Structure 1
Amino acid sequence: MKTAINIVWFKRDLRLKDHLPLKTAIEEGLPILMIFIFEHSLITAPYSDERHWRFVVESIKDLNEQLKKYSQQVYMFYGEAIPLFEKILCYYEIKNVFSHQETGTWLTYQRDIQVKNFFKNNGIRWKEFQSNAVIRGLKNRDNWNERRNEYLSKPIEIPQLDKLKPFIIEKEILESFSADKLISSLNFNHQMQKGGETEANRVLNSFLNERHIGYTKNISRPEESRKHCSRLSPYLAWGNLSIRQVEQATIQIYKKRPSKRDLLAFQSRVAWHCHFIQKLETEPEYEFKNINSAYDNIRTEWNDTYFNAWKDGLTGYPLIDACMRCLKETGYINFRMRAMLVSFLTHHLWLDWKEGANFLAKQFLDFEPGIHFPQFQMQAGTTGINTIRIYNPTKQALEHDSNAIFIKKWITELSNLPSYLAIEPWKITPVEEISYNFHYGKDYPERIVNTELTYRQANKVLWDIKKSEASKSEAEKILSKHVKSG
């Protein structure tokens, strides 16, 4: 007779605290198999990168270090979900599978449909729990803010880990779906943030106790934001922390700290987290089609030269190039600089957003589908409900990196130039080229477009569409589904 077990399926919830699926599974009393699946289909998806899976491995190793004293662990498997569950069924009777609901990509959405049918056909109960304040099956935003606040104010869920029963899985399952080869192939990069619940709490505490001072002043600055922004985004994206933990910790520290303005500014941005993920949960098509169809017939021509220059940080606009090089190397830039990169791609280079969305998803260590795709469309101006923002990269540099500290750090070709020339190298004179031993167009590329011209062209097209009846009609539907709240 097969041993009856419950399974806790970890996905983007790589923590032990505030984990209701784990808490509930323990309370059920059966032996628990805790798993994470490195799905081949996800690893090879166009928005996935090694940096994501390295972060996951670091996170799970941290969990397993905590679980050692309970003689338990999260097992890591490589393969696809249904074949793995089929294999487990050869050895065990799976009573229940517990997991958080996942607002992922179209790929994980389709996988979950297939897995749900598989579980149903095999008499397995799949209990999915609400993830953060994102509500499944929501048709509109009526009373959504109230429901969000109610969820975030509930007590943190603490699983009773001391009641975990030791569980050692059959060797055949481990060998058939071994993740060892994948894990050993990962190159660990110390320029990127390290994954794990322990590290997440350290970063949260350092922000709330010290680094938040200056948050409001430095949030838009590409260099200073690396310290004064929370840097919690990858820990939220991969679930090392829940948004409820961050919210409640911020409220507690707010009562004790004098720098309330910075903490309030941070809280206001935390409030947007689930708002955006809810968009993708309600309308998964955000990932691959214009949410406002009135914008379907623009940016129809593709330019590989432009796209490659943007990807490689060789556009001739120093702040654009510095941001891209920094992002590729460290997995992080602040929000304003992200918006500027998208704006440059879609407005100044006039390229469709979809390829760029996948490319930047690969670079963002904190790739969160529910934030990434709605934000990308918002910045690309394809929603019809948001203000059209066309960022001038030179103006952004003058305002937020006026001494070219960030630019020179990431574009070493410009490091010997005075700040005004590092920001606008096209203004260098022949005498200055000799003086600084710098040859514009050779040591650093010329601008691939003139943003004064591209601004006017993009602005006219986008505003003409936004003012059209077709766009307004679509925008009203979008507002009623994703924004308006009763």
Structure 2
Amino acid sequence: MGPAPHDVRGRPPTDLAEWEEFWGIGGGREQYINCTQIDAFAPPMPPRTQIVWYKRDLRVGDHRPLAEAADRGPVLPLYVAEPSIAAGADYHPRHWTLIREALIELRARLAKRGQPLVVRCGEMPEVLESLRATAGPLRLWAHEETGNQRTHERDQRVRDWARAHEVPFTEVPSRGVVRGPHDRDEWADQWEASMDRPLVHPPDALQPVDSVAPGPMPSHADLGLRPSTAALQQIGEAEAHRTLDSFLRERGRSYRRAMSRPGPAQTECSRISVHLAYGTISLRRVVYELRRRQEELRGANGPDAAARRKALSSFDSRLHWHSHFTQKLEDAPRIENESYIPAFDALRADDWDPALYDAWLHGRTGFPMVDACMRHLRATGWLNFRMRAMLCSFAAYDCWLDWRRFAPTYGGLMADYVPGIHYPQVQMQSGTTGINRVRIYNPVKQGKEQDPDGTFIRRWVPELSHLDTTAYVHAPWKMSPIEQQAAGCVIGKDYPERVVDHNDAYHHAQDAIHELRQRPEIQAQADTVLERHGSRA
């Protein structure tokens, strides 16, 4: 292994102080758990089996836990499919479809280095206990994960198990997210420093652990899931690099214009989000390749180069946002289940309408752009960012649904679901942060602006595919009864009636949220939220 994975001493960090210095952190962060002192006069002990616990980092490249483990002894790369995690409302069968596909490739890549991926189905502490009995003394490595409440509690159970059994456990920072106390004003500089660190070369060879069988790859049924039928994006480390390269060098020229439009966005957005979600490529690698491409374009002339520079600048900003929003959940895990400002939890608590929720969730609201976007998301697992925001806005404002009840299922529909991005965004689009502008999307206006000729709507709402007049595609209720009969699209029969009046819903939402935000005690809490979580220039 080359020098890149090591610090300036020419060797890996060996204790807490050196790890903190290497990562540019401080404040007593818990990197090692129960690292025991070694008696210099004691007889040499056999090296511990180095377990590399894979979670949302399904790759071999730029994987510090794997590289550090390979320097220290026999390596047992491990993925545990946990039924308790799969039972969550935000876990969809499509997630396991993608993870399983990535694991198959990862197992092959690791096998070429001498040790295939070990996969087990069960709960992590119990699996570790079993491995301790067969693989001898253990040392555990993992990337830090900012996940949902279930994974957060699972990680703590693993830490507790490691302490109880005197197993050293090293958690390595990832994705530019800072764990523990930190100065929010310095976060952007810390992010840049993290992204500027050298990429970690994958080990050329792994010392195998022959006493442990790789194990079968769990099925959906093993996790209590039904197979997914969605037409999902391909995933894996090789596909991640191909996807990124094609965006940076070919597809990304019109990114700035296309990213708001659900049709063109499917090919002209980066489509790297699902790979970042499961770690088939690291965020640092994406930033590295982006900066390299930006440098290539810096001296290029002509309109094509200029357009690409602008597109990549916008993409760069969104990579910052990826970590920025994840940091919010890292700093305040409660925002998965509670509003930033607690008083907002009562805003919609008593107004849940199951019929409205069902119509929204299945794309039967009577608003063509809303229905097209939801059906597309359900069928493919992906939707561009602006239209995701519109769907959330419609649920929260038009349908007046409590975000805490629709957010988990909504996240589950997303193949690229990342809790740290999802929950802060849902709260922003629901008006419960207290600091962000209340943005209520007009679904007809969005349709006309982002799908002006109705191509996307006609594709995903076939009930409207035969309408000749584009204006009616965006607002079919404007057709007269005679026109409806002629078009073969009778509202209320062939296509749903509108479930709400948008103008009425708009004014109701504005008034309710404005009244709450004007209270002095709410404004004081909003100032606290801004100080802790607000963006810094």
Question: Which residue in the other structure is 2:18 paired with?
Answer: none
Match of 1:170 among 202, 212, 232: 212
- In structure 1, which of residues 317, 335, 341 is the aligned counterpart of residue 367 of structure 2? 317
**What residue is the counterpart of 1:68 in the other structure?**
111
- Secondary structure of the 2:60 match is coil
Q: Deviations over 1:203-233 (max 9, x none)?
A: 1011001111100111100101111111111
Q: TM-score w.r.t. structure 2 length?
A: 0.86
Are the aligned partners of 1:316 and 1:447 in contact in 2 as well (CA < 8 Å)?
Answer: yes
Match of 2:62 in 1: 18
Residues 436-469 of structure 1 deviation map (CA, whole Å, 9 limit, x = unaligned)? 2221211000001000110011011112222221
Secondary structure, in 3 states, of the residue corresponding to 1:157?
A: coil
Task: Give the Cα–Cα distance (whole angstroms) in 2 for the partners of residues 93 and 447 of structure 1.
Answer: 64
* 8 Å contact kept, 2:61–2:200: yes
| 1:279 aligned residue (310, 321, 328) | 328
Measured in 1, the distance between the counterparts of 2:211 and 2:463 equals: 55
Hey, what does 1:57 align to over in structure 2? Answer: 100
> Relative to 1, partners in 2 of residues 1:212 and 1:41: Cα closer, same or farther, differing over 3 Å?
same
> 1:3, 1:92 within 8 Å by CA — same for their partners in 2?
no
- Give the match for residue 512 of structure 2: 461
Q: How far is the alpha carbon of 1:184 from its aligned partner?
A: 12
- 1:396-407 matches, cutoff 5 A: 396-407=446-457
Pair 1:376 & 2:416 matched: no
Consecutive unaligned residues in structure 1, runs of 5 or more:
none
The residue number in structure 1 matching 2:318 is 269
Match of 1:392 in 2: 442
Q: What secondary structure sits across from 1:48 in the alignment?
A: coil
Residue of structure 1 equivalent to 2:33: none
Residue type at the aligned position of 2:357: F
1:159 matched residue in structure 2: 202
- The residue that corresponds to 1:87 in the other structure is 130
Identify the residue that residue 51 of structure 2 maps to in structure 1: 7
Residue in 2 that maps onto 1:221: 261
**How far off its partner does 1:270 sit?**
1.3
Matches within 5 A, 1:279-428: 279-300=328-349, 301-418=351-468, 419-428=470-479
Question: Which stretch of the first structure deviates more once superposed, 94-103 or 250-259?
Answer: 250-259
Q: Within 5 Å, give how 1:103-122 maps onto structure 2.
A: 103-122=146-165
> 2:60·2:110 contact (CA, 8 Å) conserved in 1?
no
Measured in 1, the distance between the counterparts of 2:361 and 2:225 equals 25
Q: Shift in Å at residue 142 of structure 1?
A: 2.7
User: What SS does structure 1 have at the residue aligned with 2:253?
Assistant: coil
Task: Give the 3-state SS of the residue equivalent to 2:76 in structure 1.
Answer: strand
**Which letter maps to 2:269?**
C
Q: 1:139 to 1:71 in 2, by over 3 A?
A: closer
SS of the counterpart of 2:49? strand
Give distance in 2, aligned partners of 1:197 and 1:276.
24
Aligned residue pairs, count: 481
Superposition RMSD on alpha carbons, in Å?
1.9
Aligned equivalents of 1:190, 1:441: Cα separation in 2:
28
Task: Report the alpha carbon displacement of residue 168 of structure 1 after superposing the two structures with TM.
Answer: 3.1
Question: C-alpha deviations, 1:302-326, integer Å up to 9, x for none?
Answer: 1100000001110000011111111
8 Å CA contact retained: 1:2, 1:93: no
The structure showing larger relative contact order (alpha-carbon pairs under 8 Å, at least 6 residues apart) is 1
Q: Give the whole-Å Cα distance in 2 for the aligned partners of 1:270 and 1:170.
A: 39
Aligned-residue sequence identity (percent) comes to 36
CA contact (8 A) 2:85 2:150 kept: yes
Structure 1 residues 184 and 211, CA gap change in structure 2 (3 angstroms): farther
| Residue in 2 that maps onto 1:147 | 190
Q: Of 427, 435, 452, which aligns to 2:503?
A: 452
Q: Residues 190 and 351 of structure 1: is their aligned pair in 2 closer, same or farther, counting only changes over 3 Å? A: closer
The CA deviation at 1:190 is 7.0
Unpaired runs of 5+ residues, structure 2, are 1-44, 298-304
Q: Residue in 1 aligned with 2:77?
A: 34
Q: Report the AA paired with residue 22 of structure 1.
A: L
Q: CA offsets, 1:86-115, max 9 Å, x none? A: 111112223310100010111111111121
Q: Which position in structure 2 is the counterpart of 1:127? A: 170
- Please state how far the C-alpha of 1:186 moved relative to its aligned partner: 6.7
Task: Tell me: CA distance 1:452–1:485, structure 2 relative to 1, closer, same or farther (3 Å).
Answer: closer
Query: Is the contact between residue 83 and residue 223 of structure 2 (CA under 8 Å) also seen in structure 1?
Result: no
Describe the SS at the equivalent of 1:34.
Answer: strand
Checking the alignment, whether the CA contact within 8 Å between 2:49 and 2:74 is kept in structure 1 is yes
After the TM superposition, which of the residue ranges 137-146 and 242-251 deviates more from structure 2? 137-146
Kept after mapping to 2: 8 A contact 1:140/1:480: no
Query: Are residue 245 (structure 1) and residue 285 (structure 2) matched?
Result: yes
For residues 479 and 100 of structure 1, do their structure 2 counterparts lie closer, same or farther at Cα, with a shift above 3 Å needed? same
Amino acid at match of 2:242: R
Distance in 1, matches of 2:109 and 2:135, equals: 26
Q: Which moved more, 1:464-473 or 1:102-111?
A: 464-473
